Structure 1
Amino acid sequence: MKNFIFTFCALFISTATFSQAGHIMQGVGSVNMSMGGAATAQPLDISGALHWNPATISAFDEDIIKLDIGLFFSSPELSSTVPEFDGQGQPTGNFYSGTTEDDRGVSPMPALAAVWSKPDSKHTFGASAFGISGFGVTFPESMTNPINMPQANGGFGRIESDYMLFQIGLAWAYEITDQFSFGLQPTFNYAALELMPNPTANPNQAGYPSTNKASAFGFGGQIGLFYSSKVGFKAGVSYKTTQYFGDFELDNTYLDGSQSSNNFNMDYPAILSFGVGYSLGTIDFALDYRMVDYENTDGFSSVGWTETASVAGFGWENITIISTGIQYKGINKFPIRVGYTYSSNPINSDVAFFNIPATAIIKNAFQVGLSYQVSDRFQLDILYHYGSSGDATSGPVLNPMFIQNSPPYGAIPSSEVSYEMTTSMLGFGASLKL
C-alpha cells in the first residue's frame, strides 16, 4: 500500500511538462520581454508586434529582420509529506517529508522575425518563428523526499520530462486610415513531449509507464486592430485563437518491461489582449491586459481520474495577465527599458496534486533591458528577467483508492504536496533594417 501511494505521488510530478507548457510567456524577444511583454498597442520591435498584435506591424515602413535568443533557467523546489500505512492500509501515525530541487539547467528560447513594407504602401507583411513554450523538469533521486525515493524504498526515483512548442506565423496588416490598422495572422505549430512517468496512460501492476518522445502538429490564427493617434496615444486589441493540436501518440514502457500506447490531446489556450500605449519625447509607455482561456482548452478543461486511474485532465481555471513597461530614450543610442508582469494562478488547491510543479504559478516577473544603436540600421539588445511564484501552490496528495471516503479526487488525510519556484533569463537580440 505504501509503495502504491508513493508511486502515485511521483507520477504526477511529471505533469510539470504540461503545467509549464500551459504557462503563457510574458513576451517574445529581448525588447518585448523587457517591456513586461506589453505590445498590443505599443510596437517597439517587430517580434513583440508579430506575437501580440499583427495589426501593429503597420507601424514599420521598412524591411526588418530580428533574431533573439533567451537562456532560460528555473529553480523549482518540490516538497511532499505522506503518511505511512501498514499492511492493512491503515495509517501508522508516521510521516515522510522532504524537498527536492530541480537540476535541469538552462533551456534556450529562440525567436526569429521579419517584416516587409514600403513607406507608400498600405500593406505590411511579416513572418515569425518563435519558441513560445519549451520547458521540463529533472528531479533527481533522493533519500530524503518520499516522492523521489528509489523504487526499492517505495518512491519513484528520478522524474524527468520535456516539452517544447514552436510556432510559425505569417502576418498581414492593412492601414485602413493613417491612424487605424487591421491585422491577420495564421499560425502553425509543432510540439514534442516526453514523460517519465506518463500519467495519461493506464497503469498496470508495476505502476505507470515512461514514454518515448512524441510529436504533434497544430494550427490556429490571430486577428488584431491598432489605433495610433497623432498626439502619442495608442490603443489595440487582438485575439489569438486556440491552437488546435492533433493527438500525441505516446509509446509507453512499464517498469516490468511491458509496453503499450495511448493518445493524449493538449491544445494551447486562446488569448484575448487589450492594450494602450503612449509615446511622448523620450518616453514610451505600454500597458496590456490579457485573458487566457484554459477552461475551454483540451488537456486543461477536464479534471480528475478516469475509470482506469489515468488522468483525465488538469482542471485549470482561466487566468488574467497584466503587462506593463516603460522605455526611456534620453541617452544617446542607449534606450533603457523596465517592465513588470503579473499573472494569476490557474490552479486551485484541491487539484494542485495534478499540476505540481507548474510554471503557470509565476505571479510576479520583473524585467530590465537596454539596446545599443550601432547605426541607423543595426541594433543590439540585452535583457534580464527574474520571476517568482510568490506563495507556494499546495494541496493534498490524491489517490483514486481514497475517493469513496474523500470525494471527488481521493485526498489522502494529512498529506501535502507543495511547489514554488523562481525563474531567470538572460536574453540577447539583434535587428537589422535591410
Structure 2
Amino acid sequence: MKNLFATLCAFLMTTVIFGQAGHIMQGVGSVNMSMGGAATAQPLDISGALHWNPATISAFDDNILKVDLGLFFSSPELSSTVPEFDGNGQPTGNFFSGTTEDDRGISPMPALAYVWSKPESKHTFGVSAFGISGFGVTFPENMSNPINMPQANGGFGRIESDYMLLQVGFAWAYEISDQFSIGLQPTFNYAALELMPNPTANPNQAGYPSTDKASALGFGGQIGVFYDSDSGFKAGVSYKTTQNFGDFELDNTYLDGSTSTNKFNMDYPAILSFGLGYSLGTIDLAVDYRMVDYENTDGFSTTGWTQTASVAGFGWENINIISAGIQYKGISKFPIRLGYTYSSNPINSDVAFFNIPATAIIKNAFQVGFTYEASERFAIDALFHYGTSGDATSGPVLNPQFIQNYPPYGAIPGSEVSYDMTTAMVGIGVSWKLNK
C-alpha cells in the first residue's frame, strides 16, 4: 500500500492542473466534482471530505482508498485590438484586431486519498495528495493578432504558461460527541511555474525573457467543525490558511541570448467555507459557500508595473463561490449526482492585461456523475463537467511607456484585450474498503 501511494504521488507531480474558480479547482475527484464541489457538510466520499473539511472524515468507519483520474479539455480564446498610428506617431483612426485559439490539448487530473478508522474509535485519520490549483495556456505566435505578434513588432509573441500546485495533507478528526466532530490538517505543498514570456522579469532592448520551469515549497493548515444531527440535517465550517510559499527563482533567457534571474512569490489564498447538508431516504443535498481571500495573498494582492517595467502581481479581488449538488440513490447500486458551481470573477477590467497567462476563470460550471457499487467493498465513479466563463474578461492593452499620460497602468487609448473560454472534463474514480 505504501509503494502504491508513493507511485501515485509521483504521478501527481508530473501533471498540470487548471483552475476553475480563480486558479482553484472547484472540487476534487469524480464524486466531489459531480456535486459541484459541495462537501463542507456532506461527506459523500473521502476525497471531498479531506479537501474541504477534515472534520467530516469522522463520518467514515472503514479503511478506504480512493483514486481518481480526470481528462481536462479547455478552449481559451485570446483577442486584442490596438489603434494604428502613422509615421509621426499619430492615430490614423483605423484599428488592428485579431483572435488566437489555445492549442494546449488534454491535461490529466489525478487525485489520491486514504482514510482509516475503527468503528469503536473516536479518532479518524486521513492522508491525501491532490492537484488543487493551477493555470496554463498556449497561444502561438500570430501575425494577425496584435497581442501575439513577435516582440520585435510590439506584441508578446508566443504566450505560454504552466502553473501547478500539489498539496499533501495529513488529517485527524475527533468525535467530541455523537453529533460534533473537529478536524485538523497540516498541509505541505509543491508548486511549479513556467512562463513565456516572463512579465515578472525586467525587460531588455529585445523584450521580455522566457523562463525555465521553477519550483517552490509551501506549507499551511486547515481546521474544521462538523455537525450531524442524526435526523438528516448537517452543517460544517472549515478554514484553510494561506499556503505560504518560498520564492520561485526564475532563470530567464532573452531573445538576444542574454540571461538573468529574478524571484517571484505566489502564495495560495486562505479559504473560508460554510456548508449545509441534508439526507433523507434516497436524497442527499449539499450546498457550500466559500470566500477566497486573494486580496491578502502574495502574488495576487499587488498589481501594476514596477519602476523597471516588470509586472508586480496579478491584482486579483476576493471571490465568492457557491457550490450545490444533489445525489439520488433510488436506483439500486447506482447513485446519480448533479452539481452546479458559481464563481465571481477576481479580475477587474483595469488589470485584465496583466492576467493573460491565467485565463481559466469559469463563472458557471455544470456536472453530472454516477457511481456503480460493484460490491460492498468496491465502487466505480464517473463524471462529466462543462464550464463557461460567461462574459469575456476584457480591458485595455497596457504599456508602461504610457503611464505618464494615461495613469495608473498606461492604458493605450482605444485598445482592448479580452479572453474567454469553455472547459470540459471526463473523470473516473475507484474506491476500495480495505477492512478485512
Is TM (by shorter chain) over 0.5? Answer: yes
Correspondence for 2:93: 93
Q: Which amino acid in structure 1 is aligned with residue 72 of structure 2? A: F
Secondary structure, in 3 states, of the residue corresponding to 2:32?
helix
Correspondence for 1:107: 107
Q: Which amino acid in structure 1 is aligned with residue 346 of structure 2? A: P
Secondary structure, in 3 states, of the residue corresponding to 1:295?
helix
Matches within 5 A, 1:262-341: 262-341=262-341
**How does the TM-score come out when normalised to structure 2?**
0.93
Q: Which amino acid in structure 2 is aligned with residue 41 of structure 1? A: A
Matches within 5 A, 1:3-402: 22-151=22-151, 153-356=153-356, 358-359=358-359, 361-402=361-402
**Structure 2: distance between partners of 1:238 and 1:369:** 25
**Structure 2: distance between partners of 1:396 and 1:152:** 21
Q: Which amino acid in structure 2 is aligned with residue 160 of structure 1? A: E
**Structure 2: distance between partners of 1:259 and 1:167:** 32
Shift of 1:144: 1.7
Correspondence for 1:14: none
Q: Which amino acid in structure 1 is aligned with residue 283 of structure 2? A: I
- With over 3 angstroms needed to count, the CA separation of the structure-2 counterparts of 1:93 and 1:135, relative to structure 1, is same
Whether the 8 Å CA contact 1:342–1:365 is kept in 2: the answer is yes
Secondary structure, in 3 states, of the residue corresponding to 2:278?
strand
**How does the TM-score come out when normalised to structure 1?**
0.94
Shift of 1:326: 0.2
- With over 3 angstroms needed to count, the CA separation of the structure-2 counterparts of 1:310 and 1:192, relative to structure 1, is same
Q: Which amino acid in structure 2 is aligned with residue 51 of structure 1? A: H
Secondary structure, in 3 states, of the residue corresponding to 2:327?
strand
Q: Which amino acid in structure 2 is aligned with residue 346 of structure 1? A: P
Shift of 1:127: 0.1
For each residue in 1:121-150, what CA deviation from the matched residue of structure 2 results, as whole angstroms up to 9, or x when unmatched?
Answer: 000000000011243111122232112234
List alignment gaps of at least 5 residues for structure 1. Answer: 1-16
- Residue range with higher mean Cα deviation, 214-223 or 354-363: 354-363
Shift of 1:360: 5.1
For each residue in 1:321-373, what CA deviation from the matched residue of structure 2 results, as whole angstroms up to 9, or x when unmatched?
Answer: 00000000000110000000000011111111111254453100000000100
**Structure 1: distance between partners of 2:215 and 2:433:** 36
Secondary structure, in 3 states, of the residue corresponding to 1:333?
coil
- With over 3 angstroms needed to count, the CA separation of the structure-2 counterparts of 1:134 and 1:46, relative to structure 1, is same
Whether the 8 Å CA contact 1:76–1:357 is kept in 2: the answer is no
**Structure 2: distance between partners of 1:177 and 1:422:** 45
**Structure 1: distance between partners of 2:153 and 2:403:** 26
Whether the 8 Å CA contact 1:239–1:272 is kept in 2: the answer is yes
Matches within 5 A, 1:384-423: 384-423=384-423
Whether the 8 Å CA contact 2:380–2:431 is kept in 1: the answer is yes
**Structure 2: distance between partners of 1:404 and 1:33:** 47
**Structure 2: distance between partners of 1:41 and 1:350:** 37
Whether the 8 Å CA contact 2:232–2:278 is kept in 1: the answer is yes
- With over 3 angstroms needed to count, the CA separation of the structure-2 counterparts of 1:122 and 1:359, relative to structure 1, is farther
Secondary structure, in 3 states, of the residue corresponding to 1:105?
coil
**Structure 1: distance between partners of 2:433 and 2:263:** 45
Q: Which amino acid in structure 1 is aligned with residue 129 of structure 2? A: A
- With over 3 angstroms needed to count, the CA separation of the structure-2 counterparts of 1:298 and 1:22, relative to structure 1, is farther
Correspondence for 1:10: none
**Structure 2: distance between partners of 1:71 and 1:237:** 31
CA-based RMSD: 1.5
**Structure 2: distance between partners of 1:358 and 1:135:** 6
**Structure 2: distance between partners of 1:409 and 1:20:** 27
- With over 3 angstroms needed to count, the CA separation of the structure-2 counterparts of 1:124 and 1:19, relative to structure 1, is closer
**Structure 1: distance between partners of 2:330 and 2:61:** 24
List alignment gaps of at least 5 residues for structure 2. Answer: 1-16
Shift of 1:20: 7.3
- With over 3 angstroms needed to count, the CA separation of the structure-2 counterparts of 1:237 and 1:362, relative to structure 1, is same
Secondary structure, in 3 states, of the residue corresponding to 2:351?
helix
Secondary structure, in 3 states, of the residue corresponding to 1:30?
helix
- Residue range with higher mean Cα deviation, 66-75 or 46-55: 66-75
Whether the 8 Å CA contact 1:371–1:379 is kept in 2: the answer is yes
Q: Which amino acid in structure 2 is aligned with residue 72 of structure 1? A: F
Shift of 1:400: 1.2
Shift of 1:392: 0.5
Of all paired residues, the percent bearing the same amino acid is 86
Whether the 8 Å CA contact 2:209–2:252 is kept in 1: the answer is yes
**Structure 1: distance between partners of 2:35 and 2:173:** 23
- With over 3 angstroms needed to count, the CA separation of the structure-2 counterparts of 1:217 and 1:21, relative to structure 1, is farther
Q: Which amino acid in structure 2 is aligned with residue 130 of structure 1? A: F
